[in-house]
Amino acid sequence: MGISPKDELAQLAEEAARCVRCPLYRDATQVVFGEGPAGAKIMMIGEQPGDQEDRAGRPFVGAAGRVLDQALNEAGLQRSAIYITNAVKHFKHEVRGKRRLHKHPNRYEIGQCRWWLEREFAAIDPVFIVALGAIAASVLMGRPITLANARGRLLRWRDGRAGFATIHPSAVLRMPDDLSRARAFESLSKDLRRALSLAKSLTSGSG
C-alpha cells in the first residue's frame, strides 16, 4: 500500500521545514508550505509568503490573504476546497528599520524551490491551477509571461495541466486610492468567477 496523498503532503511539509536548497531559509522564520485538502481539484499558486505568513507559517493569512478570501467568497469559491501554495516557500525580504520589505525571488531560488512545487503537484494531481500574479504564471509556464497576455483565459501550463492567471491579491492593496482598489478587487473577483466556471467545466466529469 502506498502512502495516502494527505500523509504525503504532511511528510513533504515536514521535509520542507529542513530545506536548505537555496539561501532563503536563512533569514526566514520558518517554511510556509501549501495548505488545503489533498483531494483538491483546484490549486492556487502565489509568488512567496509575506511577512505575516512567515510569522504564522501558513500561506495567505495576511492582508493579501484577506483580500483573496473576500474575492473567493464573492466568486462563490470556498477556500477550504482549494489547495493554496506559493512558488517559493520561504519569505525573501530586506530589513529597513523595523520593517521587513518583500523582495522578489530570483531565478535560482525559484528553480530550486520548484522541486517542492512539483511534489505538491504529484501528491494532489490538480485538474486546474490558478496563478496569482505574473511570477507564479511564469513559473507554471516555464518561461517569462505577462498578465497582459495571459490573464483571464483558459491556459495550458508547461506540464499540460489547464489553468488560469490573474493578479496577485497584493496588487489590490498596492493601488493608490479607494476607487482603484475597488476596481482592482472587482476585476480579481470577476477573474476568479471565470476561473471557477472553467474549472467546473473541466472537472464535472472527473469525479
- Measured over the CA atoms of residue 68, residue 71, residue 147 and residue 83, the dihedral's sign is positive
Task: Say which residue the cell 501549501 belongs to.
Answer: 34
Cβ proximity to ligand SF4, 30 vs 189, nearer residue: 30
Name which of residues 139 to 178 contact ligand SF4 (CB under 6 A): none
Tell me the H-state helices in the chain: 5-16, 51-56, 63-75, 107-124, 134-141, 147-150, 169-173, 178-203
Q: Which amino acid is at 41?
A: K
Q: Are 29 and 194 a contacting pair, CB within 8 Å? A: no
Which of residues 25 and 39 has its CB atom nearest to ligand SF4 in the complex?
25
Shorter beta-carbon distance to ligand SF4: residue 23 or 144: 23
Residues 70-109 that bind ligand SF4 (CB under 6 A): 88-90, 109
Give the residue with the Cβ less far from ligand SF4, 90 or 93. Answer: 90
**Single residue of 24, 132, 140, 172 touching ligand SF4 by CB under 6 A:** 24
Question: Where does this chain bind ligand SF4 (CB under 6 A)?
Answer: 16, 19-22, 24-25, 31, 88-90, 109, 112-113, 116
